[in-house]
Structure 1
Amino acid sequence: MSNPFDTALSTLRAASEVAGLEPNVVKFLSQPKRIFQFSIPLKLDNGDLEIFTAYRVHYNDALGQTKNGTRFVPDLDLDTVKALGFWMTIKHAVAGIPAGGGKGGIKVDPKKLSEGELERLTRAYIRKLPMKGAWVDIPGADIGTSAKTQAWMLDEYEEIMGFHSPAAINDKPAEVNGTVGSMEATGTGAFFVTMEAVKDLSIPKGSTVVFQGFGNVGRIAARLLYKEGYKVIAVSDINGGIVKLDGFNVNELESYVDKEGTVAGFPGSRPISNQELLELNCDILMPAAVQSVITEENANNIKAKLILECANGPITPNGEKILEDRGIKVVPDVVTNCGSAIVCSFERTQGLTDTYWDIETVNSKLKERIVKAYRETVETADLKKTSMRNAAWVNALTKLSNSMKARGWV
């Protein structure tokens, strides 16, 4: 797989040419503003000591405080964190959110820890994080973290500070002054974007959809598309994929996953590899797992008419060039999956004002914001005669450039 930070920089260079960005702006945006890397010693339940490597990147804060994702995965590295921080910077700008991009995490497999070990590690991460708080940097959830870990983070932060500050941590439960709809936001936002894209391409209800990834994002989007009348014919998770060409009952599939912990073995389906799944004959393909799964090696085999990037960076630049030449429309990650970034902004607003919204209000505001981001991207793509990805980045980079110039940074 390609280096995700190289992928992000490649997109920056391509979009900056379309936008006519000044060289100094590109140079400034080619590296993070701050990088934190630190060790966390943890005494395990059996008495053994283990040392974990942790990261946090503040990529750019020209538009506001940095915030979001904290990833607990065994293969985490600095280049991945830098790329994710850059993408988060772009997402916030695309969605019109007054915030910068932050990302971080711990190189750990949380499934190998007891709940007590995970809690101690999570709290230690917040204790050792040099800069944090509602006006500085706000950690949110990502792969390997959850509402529970975010509640631990908030509690640890408030213990350190000596006062309550619900806006200091994102993606926490509503019971500790989080927002309803937080964990569903990325999948819900992806659904709203899909509904706009299928209108543009005249893809009717009943058309086929494939999900590579059936975690929090893919599952929510699949549920909503199924309810809308679309036919989900294949899904996958870490244990592999399954296919059912006449379509899944997504409600039954969700119940099965709740019981078994995986999509594998769902009655009436047949197993399929992730690679085969990506190359299925379908109308809509939604990569919702990890980065760099569509490359120059398999892009010629993709048969979908429309691809929506629910994951971060699932298509490499070389792969996307092939898809573009073949006329396959790609709605980029910074538009498709910015729903969580939008709702995290809502969460901070609610926490700062002690005014909390119901789910109808959250989803209504999410739909308004993300549809606007999609429409602005389409307009710029048409105006500049460029790809949706370049268009989204052009819109974001223009906002960032204007703010950086006004601040005297470049």
Structure 2
Amino acid sequence: MTSNLSFVHPSPDSPWQTYLSQVDRVTPYLGHLARWVETLKRPKRALIVDIPIELDDGTVAHYEGFRVQHNLSRGPGKGGVRYHPAVTLEEVMALAAWMSIKNAAVNLPYGGAKGGVRVEPKQLSLKELERLTRRYTSEIGLIIGPQQDIPAPDVNTNAQVMAWMMDTYSMNTGATSTGVVTGKPIHLGGSLGRVKATGRGVFVTGREAARRINLPLDGARVAVQGFGNVGSSAAELFVQAGAQLVAIQDHTGTIFNGGGIELADLMPMVQRQGSIGGFTGAEVIPDEDFWDVDCDILIPAALEGQITPARAQRLKAKLVLEGANGPTLPEADDILAERGVLVVPDVICNAGGVTVSYFEWVQDFSSFFWTEDEINVRLEKIMIGALRRIWDTADQHRISLRTATFAVACERILTAREERGLYP
């Protein structure tokens, strides 16, 4: 009997298909563990929920929500929740799978999970957003928990959304459970350094990669796609290291300044209005021209599937740092490799966020909290150690950093699968 489930017959060019292609590429390097590789191609559990809420005008609206647990062999599920009008089951499945790889690559004791709601949050009032979040949390409450699956912020979600999720779960279970989510407000058990952790991880891995290819950061030209927490935090750190931020693209458009965009002028506006739209300290250019900007370092920190084969042919960057999940299509990956462009893949490059989420989870269990300096030192140590292990694997097998990251991560996941065995 042939199944018609989406993880068996993925849509062409979907994020899930991209992930499956990445698994196929790493399979030859898995040795005897390749017998378990089908485990990686099927999510352990996928939950689709209806989210009815009463809007402020008294009408009832329905939204579709998802929570996918890809693999739990190494520990509880870990991964964010995004609110976006383009959220689909296949996208959430891919994001959950990339979390499995990411957590294993950094050697965190987690499996991979992800959640999402198909909604345009900007069209909801704060109270409507709260009702949506609380109903979604109640619907997925069957499968989340501090030792089961721990959500976190992602696209269009933040510390306030996590606070509502934590409170809803706690009310439903009858006890305050700070460890059910990470990325919470500091006074509800959140960790210092969490907001900028993903961007800091992009910078740390980017700095190490730049050293490897003899690219000085002082004077390096940086272009950033997506200017939320990840893109803006990474940009700030690169500028502090002496780099020039020459181009930024977000949902409102693209700006360029060959002499360097002044973050001191831009950031107050971004914090105030949430976008770069209307900034007068740079030239507005067509969105597609972003991919032709003369730069040394490109940081795609928006959504998946942005670097297509056509765009890969045009990029002038020497180094691509994947702040977003799945921003480069497999065919584009090959083109960049042929052109000598080094790509630091998402599954290691943007792992700073989940690493500090792990610190938050540990702190919640112990009720003992670290300083921000301690957080940053621990983060840098873990990220550099993980990248060096991956680079050694890449050199040993003469493969890309992406395939090497998957090789390290898949070996850890499938070893756990093999050692645990099958039950019943």
State TM-score, norm by structure 1. Answer: 0.98
Q: How does 1:355-366 map to 2 (within 5 A)?
A: 355-366=368-379
CA separation in 2, counterparts of 1:318 and 1:342?
Answer: 29
Deviation at 1:3, TM superposition (A): 0.3
Structure 1 equivalent of residue 36 of structure 2: 25
Question: Which of 358, 379, 382 is the equivalent residue of 1:345?
Answer: 358
Question: Which of 19, 39, 49 is the equivalent residue of 1:38?
Answer: 49
Q: Which structure 2 segments of 5+ residues have no match?
A: 1-11
1:183 to 2:195 alignment = yes
Question: Which of 132, 140, 151 is the equivalent residue of 1:139?
Answer: 151
CA contact (8 A) 2:103 2:112 kept: yes
Deviation at 1:23, TM superposition (A): 4.2
* TM-aligned CA distance change 1:160 to 1:260, over 3 Å: closer
Deviation at 1:21, TM superposition (A): 5.4
Question: Which of 54, 60, 63 is the equivalent residue of 2:74?
Answer: 63
Q: Which structure 1 segments of 5+ residues have no match?
A: none
CA separation in 2, counterparts of 1:188 and 1:118?
Answer: 29
Structure 1 equivalent of residue 345 of structure 2: 332
CA contact (8 A) 2:197 2:352 kept: yes
CA separation in 1, counterparts of 2:171 and 2:194?
Answer: 24
Structure 1 equivalent of residue 183 of structure 2: 171
Structure 2 equivalent of residue 265 of structure 1: 278
Deviation at 1:276, TM superposition (A): 1.3
Question: Which of 302, 305, 312 is the equivalent residue of 1:289?
Answer: 302
CA contact (8 A) 2:130 2:164 kept: yes
State TM-score, norm by structure 2. Answer: 0.95
Q: Secondary structure in 2 aligned to 1:140? A: strand
1:202 to 2:214 alignment = yes
Structure 1 equivalent of residue 64 of structure 2: 53
1:98 to 2:126 alignment = no
CA contact (8 A) 2:221 2:245 kept: yes
Question: Which of 272, 288, 291 is the equivalent residue of 1:275?
Answer: 288
Cα root mean square deviation, aligned: 1.3
Structure 2 equivalent of residue 408 of structure 1: 421
CA separation in 1, counterparts of 2:308 and 2:30?
Answer: 26
Post-superposition Cα deviations, 1:13-61, rounded to whole Å, max 9, x if no partner, equal: 1012233354431111101000100101111110111111010001001
Q: Secondary structure in 2 aligned to 1:324? A: helix
CA separation in 1, counterparts of 2:68 and 2:98?
Answer: 12
Percent identical residues: 37
CA contact (8 A) 1:223 1:251 kept: no
Q: Which amino acid in structure 1 is aligned with residue 151 of structure 2? A: P
Q: Which amino acid in structure 1 is aligned with residue 336 of structure 2? A: L
Q: Secondary structure in 2 aligned to 1:139? A: strand
Q: Secondary structure in 2 aligned to 1:236? A: strand
Post-superposition Cα deviations, 1:86-111, rounded to whole Å, max 9, x if no partner, equal: 00000000001010001012111111
CA separation in 2, counterparts of 1:257 and 1:23?
Answer: 47
CA separation in 2, counterparts of 1:322 and 1:200?
Answer: 21
CA separation in 2, counterparts of 1:339 and 1:292?
Answer: 21
Structure 1 equivalent of residue 322 of structure 2: 309
CA separation in 1, counterparts of 2:359 and 2:128?
Answer: 31
Structure 1 equivalent of residue 263 of structure 2: 250
Deviation at 1:273, TM superposition (A): 2.9
Q: Which amino acid in structure 1 is aligned with residue 418 of structure 2? A: K
Structure 1 equivalent of residue 241 of structure 2: 228
CA separation in 1, counterparts of 2:266 and 2:386?
Answer: 32
1:375 to 2:381 alignment = no
CA contact (8 A) 1:10 1:317 kept: yes
Q: Secondary structure in 1 aligned to 2:102? A: helix
CA contact (8 A) 1:60 1:66 kept: yes
Post-superposition Cα deviations, 1:151-195, rounded to whole Å, max 9, x if no partner, equal: 011111111111122111111111101111112110011111111
Structure 2 equivalent of residue 14 of structure 1: 25
CA contact (8 A) 1:31 1:59 kept: yes
Structure 1 equivalent of residue 171 of structure 2: 159
Structure 1 equivalent of residue 407 of structure 2: 394
How many residues align? The count is 410
Moved segments of 4+, more than 6 Å: none
Structure 2 equivalent of residue 150 of structure 1: 162
CA separation in 2, counterparts of 1:131 and 1:260?
Answer: 36
CA contact (8 A) 1:293 1:315 kept: yes
1:77 to 2:88 alignment = yes
